[in-house]
Structure 1
Amino acid sequence: MRPIRHMLLALLVLTVAACSRGGADERPPEPGDRAVARVEGRVIWASDVKREAVAQGLIGEGEPLDTTSPLFRRVLDEVVDQKLLAREAERRGLDNSALAQRRLEATRERILGDMLVDSVVDRAISDQAVQALYEEQLRLARTSEEIRTRLILSRTREEADAVLGLLNTGASFEAVAMERSVDEATRFSGGDLGYSTLDVMPEAYANALRDRPAGSTVGPFQTDGGWAVLRVEDRRRETPPTLDQARPQIVRYLTYEQVRQLLEDLRGNAEVEVLLSDPASPGEEPASAPAPAGATEKAS
């Protein structure tokens, strides 16, 4: 069964339309829109079907939906069903009940809120804003350095000292790692940890590697997993992602910031009173608390 919220949306649309019957129903609600069906004299537009597909998560916001595709026809059938159900609900007078009015108003508020957020975000997230934030991230990346290291992890300090002795005699770090390291994630790759920045490394690793040049051996030092010996393979400036790679993350960040700022401004300029008591307040029981033993249900 389709979600009830879809039916409520249909009821809301039809209730609004009922207030303005006539030729207005025949005008495309969006430029280039196309009438794709008619239910008891009321037009269903291609944009209505697309909006329903977006609401169901079948396509993304802004994605096209071909009117000749099987998906479009399936969603169109669902929109027709919604309108038929809504008309029958109206015929039975269900739209006049207090419960229906509350639900319709809640749906209306949700739609208007989404439209406000969309309008604010659309104005704020431009190519210029994305480019500006990307360039800021580039400046930060230029000051960051990546270090490629190899690891040999031992259980005890004595085992780690023995590893260091082997390395000092000219043994291959990769070979000793494969033979002696207890770190199963890296031993078979010669202890290769790949490239990473100091800020994401465990503190013990970061402190040991901070000023060590490429080619140096570091350790042994104690970590949470045992005693570590590292070799610094390479140091390089961090390679930033391209603009295309970074764009989705930047857009998400800008969207979050705009919505956060909008809500902060609205709450700052509105009178909001929460009528619930603090659940941690002493001496108060939640409404769902069981009645005390011996209490009667009948009021005196």
Structure 2
Amino acid sequence: MKSSVRLVSLISAMTCALLLAACGQNKVAEKPPEPGDTAVARVNGQVIWASDVKREAVAQGLISEGEPLDISSEVFRQRLDEVIDQKLLAAEATKRKLDKDPIAQRRLAAARERILGDMLVEGVVEKAVTEDAIRKLYAEQQKLSKRSEEIRARQIIVGSQAEAESVKKLLASGASFDALAMERSTDQATRFNGGDLGYFTLDVMPEPYGAALKDAQKGQLVGPFAAEGGWVIVKVEDKRTEDPITLEAARPQIVRFLTYDQVRDILEKLRGGAKVDILIGKPQDVPGAPAREPASAPPEPPAGAPAAPPASAPSAPAKK
């Protein structure tokens, strides 16, 4: 697997190196391409800079854009060896005049367009996705979001309504909920922790729980009511307003949303000012095939926006 990943990386970097050669820019460059850059190797007189190695590490997903990479680390040295291999392979390809082949020229042109397009998008996104923009969208979403009420409860599930009524009478007379949950409850996920379900909102619980607990108050015994698995008795331990998502937890989703918004905006402007003629027909629908998502499909909503909750089993605690 590692060898195949490296091969893809080599081919990609060879394309970039051939692009430089095709443009007549493969001469020795002694001036650092970035302020504070460090020369880390020389291949047939051509300097390899630390930024070249870092760019390769970013391309392989080993570090994020802008993240530092220690030149004394093993990761840096491994990437340096790969960059050296890439330059040697590209130089040999140029020597064999592979860059003059018509097919190679088309691939080089496509790679150049892809790189330039990426650079344009990166520049636009960098200017737009700022800390101020992130905080502003976060604040807007917090104003719009609806914070639900959370309930903390314990449950005991038994096999029949009569047994449930018997358990409820024992609880009403002062018996320990924890002890009865351990002795009587058939729910293996909660019986050993006193039937504790943790904190949850009603929308993530099965319908019988939502209906039974809708108007329940703190300290109240609710039930018995029928649910999947048996007859349920619930004790409401606490009620509180759901905590809002923090900025740091919401940040990745907000950044994705803002990035998508900027890319969509620039593409709409470019397409609006260009003449684009599609010379092929629309793709045919294949019976049974999954529906295609349009290219302009909206992104995920920013964090904090209301969303449909997933179904949850009654024995799975939501929060502690």
TM over 0.5, shorter chain: yes
User: What residue in structure 1 maps to residue 40 of structure 2?
Assistant: 36
User: What residue in structure 1 maps to residue 258 of structure 2?
Assistant: 254
Q: Which amino acid aligns with 2:60?
A: Q
User: What residue in structure 2 maps to residue 160 of structure 1?
Assistant: 164
Do structure 1's residue 278 and structure 2's residue 284 form an aligned pair?
Answer: yes
CA shift, 1:185, in A, is 0.9
User: What is the alpha-carbon root mean square deviation over aligned residues?
Assistant: 2.9
Higher mean displacement: 146-155 or 31-40: 31-40
2:185 pairs with one of 181, 187, 190: 181
Name the CA distance, whole Å, in 2 between partners of 1:180 and 1:265. Answer: 66
Higher mean displacement: 248-257 or 124-133: 248-257
1:51 pairs with one of 44, 55, 63: 55
Contact map agreement 1:142 1:238 (CA 8 A) in 2? no
Name the CA distance, whole Å, in 2 between partners of 1:198 and 1:116. Answer: 46
Name the CA distance, whole Å, in 2 between partners of 1:44 and 1:201. Answer: 59
CA shift, 1:91, in A, is 1.1
Say how many residue pairs are matched.
281
Do structure 1's residue 102 and structure 2's residue 106 form an aligned pair?
Answer: yes
Give structure 1 stretches of 5+ with no counterpart: 282-300
Alignment of 1:212-223 (within 5 A): 212-223=216-227
CA shift, 1:213, in A, is 1.3
Name the CA distance, whole Å, in 1 between partners of 2:254 and 2:17. Answer: 35
Alignment of 1:1-300 (within 5 A): 1=3, 2-21=6-25, 25-139=29-143, 143-259=147-263, 271=276, 273=278, 275=281, 277-280=283-286
CA shift, 1:149, in A, is 0.9
Q: Which amino acid aligns with 1:280?
A: V
Name the CA distance, whole Å, in 1 between partners of 2:26 and 2:108. Answer: 23
Q: 1:205 to 1:49 in 2, by over 3 A?
A: same
Q: Which amino acid aligns with 1:255?
A: T
Contact map agreement 2:153 2:234 (CA 8 A) in 1? yes
TM-score where L is the length of structure 2: 0.76
Q: Equivalent pairs: percent with the same residue?
A: 58
CA shift, 1:125, in A, is 1.9
Q: Secondary structure at the match of 1:131?
A: helix
Give structure 2 stretches of 5+ with no counterpart: 288-320
Name the CA distance, whole Å, in 1 between partners of 2:120 and 2:71. Answer: 28
Q: Secondary structure at the match of 1:87?
A: helix
